[in-house]
């Protein structure tokens, strides 16, 4: 019931057949969202996860980055559109100190480009409509991920696949201590754990069971972490760990599942 949850609720016609809804949630939590016509026919249903201000879990997740690692080679999943072709939009907050981040996709030695600078190398991988991105970031900062519209023909089918709508669509992701995504130093950081095999298939729920434990160390020594508050099963073997860190910096994150690292 948005009347209980929202300070403001309004709709704006974007001019391209879509309607964007703006709302302000007073309380954190999980909300179900249903869009109905005047005849009460449900045309869309989804679930919103509202997190505290300063936790950029939703901002980063808009383009599917998980397990972001600073200073090491990592893998992120770039989810550019849903199954209806609608691009994910991340314009929820303005972030300062933006730097460029480059991604290049290749399929059968044919390059497809997503704009940027900074020396990231990407590999094409079909994964629920997304793309696997390998990157090497050496500095913790807020990066702007800008993707330009790209389309190409599927060999032998005559169909054209659009990577994004024909307009620039920026996303923003906070690259924080290894494996962490979140707000300012001393605030709450959100760490999303997701298991994949080398083909991009998600791990089974039992492989990311509730007995997972997360330990942080810095310079080879264990770090006392204030407020290891939750291990949440998000969807299909994803766990979100909320941490309250006292200082920004580089941390080693060790994940133990049933005693196994």
Q: Tell me: the pLDDT tens digits for 141-181?
A: 444 343 333 333 333 434 333 333 222 333 333 333 333 33
Sorted by where each begins, the domain ranges of the chain are 2-50, 58-175, 182-257
User: In Å, how far are 116, 130, 224 from 16, measured between CA atoms?
Assistant: 27, 24, 51
The answer, yes or no, to whether residue 116 has pLDDT greater than 50, is no
CA distance 246 to 223: 10
Q: Return the pLDDT at 16.
A: 45
Top mean pLDDT of 22-26, 70-74, 119-123 is at: 22-26
Residue pLDDT, tens place only, 55-90: 222 222 223 333 332 222 222 333 333 334 333 333
The answer, yes or no, to whether residue 39 has pLDDT greater than 60, is yes
CB atoms within 10 A of CB 110: 10
């Amino acid at each position: 019931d948005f009347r209980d949850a929202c300070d403001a609720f309004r709709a704006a016609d974007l001019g391209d057949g879509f309607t964007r809804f703006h709302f302000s949630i007073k309380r954190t939590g999980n909300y179900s969202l249903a869009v109905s016509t005047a005849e009460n026919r449900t045309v869309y249903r989804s679930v919103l996860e509202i997190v505290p201000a300063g936790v950029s879990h939703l901002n980063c997740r808009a383009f599917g980055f998980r397990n972001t690692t600073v200073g090491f080679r990592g893998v992120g999943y770039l989810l550019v559109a849903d199954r209806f072709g609608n691009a994910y939009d991340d314009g929820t907050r303005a972030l300062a100190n933006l730097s460029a981040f480059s991604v290049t996709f290749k399929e059968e030695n044919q390059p497809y480009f997503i704009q940027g600078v900074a020396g990231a190398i990407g590999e094409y991988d079909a994964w629920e409509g997304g793309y696997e991105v390998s990157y090497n970031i050496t500095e913790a900062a807020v990066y702007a991920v800008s993707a330009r519209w790209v389309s190409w023909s599927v060999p032998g089918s005559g169909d054209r696949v659009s990577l994004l709508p024909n307009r620039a669509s920026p996303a923003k992701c906070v690259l924080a201590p290894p494996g962490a995504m979140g707000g300012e130093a001393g605030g709450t950081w959100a760490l999303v754990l997701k298991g994949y095999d080398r083909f991009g298939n998600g791990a089974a729920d039992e492989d990311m069971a509730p007995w997972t434990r997360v330990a942080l160390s810095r310079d080879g020594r264990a770090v006392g972490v204030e407020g290891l508050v939750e291990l949440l099963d998000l969807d299909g073997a994803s766990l979100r760990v909320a941490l309250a860190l006292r200082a920004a910096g580089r941390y080693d994150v060790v994940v133990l599942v049933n005693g196994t690292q």
